[in-house]
Amino acid sequence: MKNVYDFTVKDRNDKDVSLSEYKGKVLLIVNTATGCGFTPHYDPLEAMYRDLRDKGLEILDFPCNQFANQAPGDAEEIYSFCKMKFGTEFPQFAKIDVNGETADPLFAFLASEKPFEGFGKGLKNAALNKFADMNNKKFGDKAYIKWNFTKFLIGRDGTVVARFEPTTDMEEVRKAVEQLLG
């Protein structure tokens, strides 16, 4: 059975990185954007990373500009923004596409393992759903990820355990990570 360790991605310097380098770690894989309303998620993500990396957590950050052009910078601009504004220390990878014909195979795999089940209830979530549907219409059945800051939780064996939409409270994400870390 395929798992995340079967994938190779590009780091922010365009060098190949085999995700097998993370074997035995709990991973939180996130597609991000510097100009998104969910960009403040970097704060709790960095806090979680600082608190839990010694217990085996790695957060893998994949910038993406496919959602309303909210990550327009190049790799160095995005990295500098995240480092200066949020103090991020977790690994940031090359900017990728997560939807359509050019979608990174890792994200197509993640989304096939844990498909979108909705943003949740409430007016804000309904509004985001409508906006995401309009944005993702051009990707058809290859609209794997609905918006920035979708998070995938990966077990130490490389299997996809959970998917968290950007509307999921970050405390809920942290609890799931802590439970998986044991």
Residues forming the active site: 36
Q: What gap in Å lies between CA 153 and CA 167, rounded to an integer?
A: 15
Per-residue b or e along 1-13, where b marks 16 or more CB atoms closer than 10 Å to that residue's CB: eebbbebebbebe
Alpha-carbon torsion, ordered 144, 145, 150, 153, to 10 deg: 0
State how far the alpha carbon of 75 is from the alpha carbons of 21, 40, 78, in Å. 22, 19, 5
Nearest by Cα to 13 from 85, 92, 90, 104 = 92
Strand 57-63 relative to strand 26-32, pairing: parallel
Residue with tokens 């990728």: 96
